[in-house]
Amino acid sequence: MYYLYILTLLALLISVFKSVDKTSKAVKIALKKFINILPAFVSMLILVSIILFLIPDKIILKYLGNNNKIVGIMLASFFGSVTLMPGFIAFPLCGILLKKGVTYMVLSAFSTTLMMVGVLTYPIEKEYFGTRVTILRNIFSFFIAIVVALITGIFFGEIW
Amino acid sequence: MTFSDKIKMSGFFAYICFVAASFIFNFNPGKLIGINFYSFSMEMLKLLPCAFILIGLFEVWVKRKTVEKHLGAKSGFRGYLWAVLLAGTTVGGLYVAFPIAYSLHTKGAKLSIIFTYIGASAICRVPMTIFEASFMGIKFSIIRLFASLPLVIVTSMLLGHYLTKRKYKILPGK
């Protein structure tokens, strides 16, 4: 996290040093873009706050422990798609699941959909790229996640 | 203000009233939702100002020609490599990648490249992958990376090709 602050500060300093005018223009662009997209961010945050209440970690822990492989993958990719959590919550959760005996294949489906498929980021993605592209990209990503999960399963010997 | 804006605004106020009332009357589900909202907002506020300032600096300083040359229509395979490398250093997640990809595209990066960037920034951010490997083992991370990256690039090409053929234009002024 800190390297982002240092990088931004450095970039700003260099920019100011080279041209104050251009820097103030850049900050104005930043502010304008941020304000433009803010309503979409608030929509996303509202969705996130409700979904995380409806699907807390406990539920995910409970359902991913399912022994049936196909049901496991289906549930994992469903939970991964409709939730949103930062890596520092998601991977410790995966670590716990792994210790509980959940297969790598299922965890791969969960973590890949979590990262790539954004039902909750829909309000933001739609603002930038439009509804059609957003839906297409998410469908593609969902299938990528399923294929990746199957490949993971093959490599860990969980399919045969 | 359009009709859908009005619906959004009333939804937003209903949400605020619900959360506020939950805190006043000690209604636990509502309180949890409020706390979720707060903690996620804080998490994003740590990243977003930096991300948008960098986007602003990018728009002002980086020449269109440079972006077109490396990420544009004639960039070839190396364009995808740049997209993946750039994604590796991105922080946050999809919600940071979208505005960056948008700016790249307005500066001349082609569609398949920005979709590769978005997908790659979801799956191969370096700090996140290291963190993942520490919980799941290095084998898991490597398999996941090598299985997903080619798929991301191929589907991005397909999507880019399809949209270019359909004369897709990105929404202006975001």
Q: Which residue has the tokens 């977003």?
A: B48
Instruction: Sketch the domain layout of chain B as residue ranges.
Output: 1-46, 62-174
Distance from CA of A75 to the nearest CA of B (A): 19
Region B94-102: mean pLDDT is: 95
Note whether A15 contacts B: Cβ–Cβ < 8 A. yes
Distance from CA of B108 to the nearest CA of A (A): 15
- Find the farthest-apart pair of alpha carbons in chain A and give their distance in angstroms, rounded: 64
Residues 6+ apart with CB under 8 A from B26: none
Can you tell me the distance from the alpha carbon of B92 to that of B48, in angstroms, rounded to the nearest whole number? Answer: 9
Contact A105, A156 (CB under 8 A): yes
pLDDT of residue B66: 94
- Asked whether the beta carbons of residue A151 and residue B143 sit closer than 8 angstroms, the reply is yes
- pLDDT digit string, tens, across residues A40-88: 999 999 999 999 999 988 888 888 876 788 899 999 999 999 998 888 8
pLDDT of residue A158: 87
A140: nearest CB among B36, B140, B155: B155
- Asked whether the beta carbons of residue A48 and residue B60 sit closer than 8 angstroms, the reply is no
- pLDDT digit string, tens, across residues B123-139: 999 989 999 999 999 99
- Asked whether the beta carbons of residue A53 and residue B33 sit closer than 8 angstroms, the reply is yes
Distance from CA of B124 to the nearest CA of A (A): 10
Name the nearest CA neighbour of A159 among A73, A60, A61, A63: A73
> Is the pLDDT confidence value at B1 over 80?
no
> Is the pLDDT confidence value at B21 over 90?
yes
A20-54 helix and A2-18 helix, angle to the nearest 10 degrees: 160
With a pLDDT cut of 70, the percent of chain A lying above it is 98
Q: Which residues of B touch A91 (CB under 8 A)?
A: 131-132, 134-136
Interface test with chain A among B114, B146, B154, B174, by most A beta carbons within 10 Å: B174
pLDDT of residue B91: 86
Contact B90, B121 (CB under 8 A): yes
- Asked whether the beta carbons of residue A128 and residue B170 sit closer than 8 angstroms, the reply is yes
Q: How many CB pairs under 8 A join A and B?
A: 196
Q: What ipTM does the predicted assembly reach?
A: 0.92
Interface test with chain A among B8, B40, B107, B125, by most A beta carbons within 10 Å: B40
Note whether B44 contacts A: Cβ–Cβ < 8 A. yes
With a pLDDT cut of 90, the percent of chain B lying above it is 82
